[in-house]
């Protein structure tokens, strides 16, 4: 009995050490950023931002919600819903303003700017598939918050840019565009499981990697995909090659990071080799 008690205590101690040592992403409580919100209590809570479940890490008495903030979020006070069994409460956090630069892109293929009705049918069908992939949720206590660039090249488009295609406003840029030659191997930014792959109108050939608790990475415009749904991949493993499929003006990798189903700045997860976008202004 004593030995079993000792083993249990050691397991609890080990979990506590690992939880305390876990490196969180760089906090930036701005649209497109990540907020870390304390949700203390002995029992791990379930936390939601709107309808979307939010990651919770830590240990009894020191739980933290790691929240992806939508690019569309307005500055001000916002609330998380915190559930512990049948009890529900609200916890507030503040979002600061951030101004992103604008980018103007000219596309020769006008269908990629103004899709035809037939294209729109395909886009709506694909959007449902993409949303399902982004909603992947795998329980995990070991989250790879420190990631590495999947390819090394020039950042041709930074995260959050307000984009204009042929002078028409479109959604802000949801990732990093890294310009490298076609055929360059793409490496997994962190260990994970392939949540899905596909060939989409705007994003071209895509791989989604699930890293646990709603944290995913997305790799777009690939020329080749070397993994399939359900594959477990290691950090740095080659998952495909760079291309220019979908809406692309040249060979590059669009790399995105997703938390609680919203796109956040990949720079917040990079360690050492961070290549920050220029010109972003935080207030």
Q: How many domains does the chain have?
A: 2
| 129 and 81 inside one domain | no
CATH of the domain at 226: 2.70.70.10
| 165 and 250 inside one domain | yes
Last residue of a domain, one of 65, 95, 125: 95
Cβ burial of 109 (10 Å; 0-12, 13-18, 19+) is exposed
11: enclosing H helix or E strand: helix 2-21
Q: Tell me what the mean pLDDT of segment 118-142 comes to.
A: 94
pLDDT at 16 over 50: no
| 254 and 151 inside one domain | yes
| Distance separating alpha carbons of residues 156 and 283, to the nearest angstrom | 25
| Distance separating alpha carbons of residues 1 and 8, to the nearest angstrom | 11
pLDDT tens per residue across span 165-209:
888 887 888 999 999 999 999 999 999 999 999 999 999 999 999
Count the neighbouring beta carbons within 10 Å of the beta carbon of residue 168.
Answer: 10
| Distance separating alpha carbons of residues 282 and 279, to the nearest angstrom | 10
Quote the domain boundaries for residue 181. 100-282
| Distance separating alpha carbons of residues 208 and 233, to the nearest angstrom | 11
Mapped onto helix, strand or coil, the DSSP state of residue 82 is strand
Give the pLDDT confidence score for residue 13 in this predicted structure: 39
Q: How far is CA 212 from the centre of its chain?
A: 11
CATH of the domain at 80: 2.60.40.1590
Q: Tell me what the mean pLDDT of segment 65-77 comes to.
A: 96
Residue 11 counted as domain residue = no
C-beta of residue 244 within 8 angstroms of C-beta of residue 251: yes
| 104 and 86 inside one domain | no
Q: Tell me what the mean pLDDT of segment 251-276 comes to.
A: 85
pLDDT at 4 over 80: no
Residue 52 counted as domain residue = yes
C-beta of residue 172 within 8 angstroms of C-beta of residue 228: no
Give the pLDDT confidence score for residue 228 in this predicted structure: 97
Last residue of a domain, one of 95, 111, 137: 95
């Amino acid at each position: 009995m004593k030995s079993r008690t000792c083993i249990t205590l050691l397991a609890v101690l080990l979990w506590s050490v690992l939880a305390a040592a876990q490196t969180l992403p760089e906090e930036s409580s701005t649209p497109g950023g990540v907020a870390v919100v304390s949700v203390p209590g002995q029992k791990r809570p379930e936390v939601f931002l709107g309808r979307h479940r939010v990651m919770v890490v830590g240990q009894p008495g020191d739980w933290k919600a790691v929240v992806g903030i939508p690019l569309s979020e307005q500055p001000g006070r916002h609330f998380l819903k915190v559930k512990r069994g049948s009890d529900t409460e609200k916890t507030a956090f503040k979002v600061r303003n951030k101004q992103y630069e604008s980018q103007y892109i000219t596309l020769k293929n006008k269908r990629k700017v103004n899709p035809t009705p037939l294209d729109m049918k395909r886009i709506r069908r694909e959007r449902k598939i993409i949303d399902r992939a982004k909603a992947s949720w795998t329980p995990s206590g070991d989250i790879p918050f420190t990631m590495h660039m999947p390819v090394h090249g020039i950042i041709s488009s930074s995260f959050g840019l307000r984009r204009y295609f042929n002078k028409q406003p479109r959604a802000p840029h949801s990732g990093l565009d890294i310009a490298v030659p076609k055929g360059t191997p793409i490496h997994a930014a962190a260990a994970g499981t392939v949540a899905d792959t596909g060939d989409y109108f705007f994003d071209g050939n895509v791989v989604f990697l699930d890293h646990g608790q709603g944290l995913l990475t997305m790799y777009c415009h690939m020329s080749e995909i070397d993994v399939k749904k359900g594959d477990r991949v290691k950090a740095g493993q080659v998952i495909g090659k760079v291309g220019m499929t979908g809406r692309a003006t040249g060979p590059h990798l669009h790399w995105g990071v997703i938390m609680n189903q919203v796109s956040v700045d990949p720079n917040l997860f990079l360690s050492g080799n961070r290549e920050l976008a220029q010109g972003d202004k935080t207030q």
